Amino acid sequence: MNRGEFLDHLDAALQNLSAKDRTDALNFFEEMIADKAADQGRSEEDVIADLGPVEEIAKSVLSSMPAAGSEAQPPANKAPARAAVAQSIPGEGGATGKRVEMSADQVRNVILRVTDCPLIIRRGGDTQLTLQYTETEDLHFECSLEDGELRLIQQSRVRYGLFGWRIWARRTDMTIELTVPADIASSLDAQTSNSSVRAEDISFWGDLRLQNANGRIQCKGLQARSVELATSNASIRAEHILSQQGMDLRTSNASITAESLRAAQAITLRTSNGHVEARQVQGNQISLRSSNGALQFGGLEAPDITLVTSNGRIEGGVTGKPAEYTVTASTVNASNSLKNHPAGGPRRLEVRTLNANIQVHFEGEAVASSNG
Amino acid sequence: MDAQLKRGMLDAFVLKLLTRQDSYGYQLSQDAARIVSLSESALYPVLKRLESGGGVESYTQEYGGRLRRYYRITKAGYRQIDAFLKEWEEIRKIYDFIREE
């Protein structure tokens, strides 16, 4: 059986499911077959034979659905308690600007789930929370407010044709803008992809989580209970961020630049194939990690500092004097300015790379070293 | 084995695999295969369940000219692992009790 036949069979066996659930399943197995065949250097027919009878697969898929075998219906779940009232502002080219406005007091949590849309989060008036977005023929959102939770969820912008082949809607890149008071008693959990995320000058009483994929994240002047900034294949820039708990910044294949971060708990900056630059970072624990990228820093202050990369140099300063630290430092095929102090002071400093230099100085000793 | 028990275990197992890094269907099935025999078609309901339960999020990324769906564990997912470990303590006690007699 070739891939087309297999998907055809599976599609037929899943007729009872909604189009969305069926397409999800078909995509999953289609991707599995392609990946497995490519990775193991086998034919797709061979890999498909491995999967077993289509009926068994269909049974397994149906078992994951809440009401297996029931009427094919769009997942109507429960109706959102109260659709937030959006004011419509007609725009050009069939686009409609939407504006949702409410008193910020009644919001304890904001959830944004979108794809391909840039996000801008910024401070506005003293009391109002405003959410602005644009709908087009291909782009729809569901906006609701329930129990203090404001949600903006993008409805699928992908349409499906025969056999579940994806038909991508035209990319529109409609910016979503959230404006809140400078000080808001809410959490924010925002997720987009393939786009940019920007947040500035806001203090959240709750948790802040900004996620992207294949797009940048830029943050400045933020405060929150905990801070999580995550993307992939794009850079993160964070300045003047404060957290009562921990701070987690991560990406891949791109750089992280941070200045003036402070957290009561651990601060982690992690990437791969990109460099990490961090200045004036203060926490209970600091960890800068990369691979194939340099770590450059100054003013790192924590009882526990971990600096790990490979094929990239580690260069910069930590606060305090050498005697305060218990040091483990290693590199291979390169020079190392640090000496191991297995039984040094109460602060812990771990520095590791490969094939690149380690050049770390102690800022508390700056005067002494300039004399020497 | 009791289906409910097995489901909980597989869910926690896949969540744990995702704590190392975001992953996709085939990679997950390969990682899982090192520890248990979990067929590709058995993996699907687990991911679907985790996603609708909020323990896992997914996003697509282009790979070699096609799209791949990646799965990522959420904070709720981490909590789910903790809950599983706690629950397992109970089961362990019962297991020990049964063995002793």
The reply to whether residue B25 touches residue A32, judged by beta carbons under 8 angstroms, is yes
CB pairs A-B closer than 8 Å: 67
Mean pLDDT across the stretch A150-158? 78
The reply to whether residue B26 touches residue A31, judged by beta carbons under 8 angstroms, is yes
Residue A207 confidence (pLDDT) above 90: yes
CA A44 to CA B32: how far, in whole Å?
Answer: 21
Write out the DSSP string of A145-188. EETTEEEEEEPP-EEE-GGG-EEEPPP----EEEEE-SEES-EE
pLDDT band at A168 (very low <50, low <70, confident <90, very high): low
A254 within 8 A of A237, measured Cβ to Cβ: no
A100 within 8 A of A148, measured Cβ to Cβ: no
pLDDT band at A169 (very low <50, low <70, confident <90, very high): low
- Cα angle, residue B85 at apex, residues A224 and A57 outer, rounded to 5°: 100
ipTM of the complex: 0.89
Q: Which residues of A touch B59 (CB under 8 A)?
A: 115, 193, 213
Percentage above 70 pLDDT, chain A: 85
Which residue of A lies nearest to B68 if distances are taken between CA atoms?
A31
Q: How far is B90 from chain A (nearest CA, A)?
A: 27
Which pLDDT does position A369 carry in this prediction?
A: 45
Residue A336 confidence (pLDDT) above 60: yes
Question: Helices B40-53 and B75-100 sit at what angle, rounded to 10 degrees?
Answer: 120
**Among A31, A57, A210, A226, which would you mutate to test the B interface (most chain B Cβ atoms within 10 Å of its Cβ)?**
A31
Q: Looking at domain B3-100, which of 2.60.120.200, 1.20.58.220, 2.30.40.10, 1.10.10.10 is its CATH number?
A: 1.10.10.10
Which residue in B25, B30, B48 is closest to A31 by CB distance? B25
pTM across the whole model: 0.60
Q: Which residues of B touch A64 (CB under 8 A)?
A: 44-46, 48-49
Give the pLDDT confidence of B21-72 residue by residue, as tens digits: 999 999 999 999 888 888 888 899 999 989 988 999 998 888 877 778 999 9
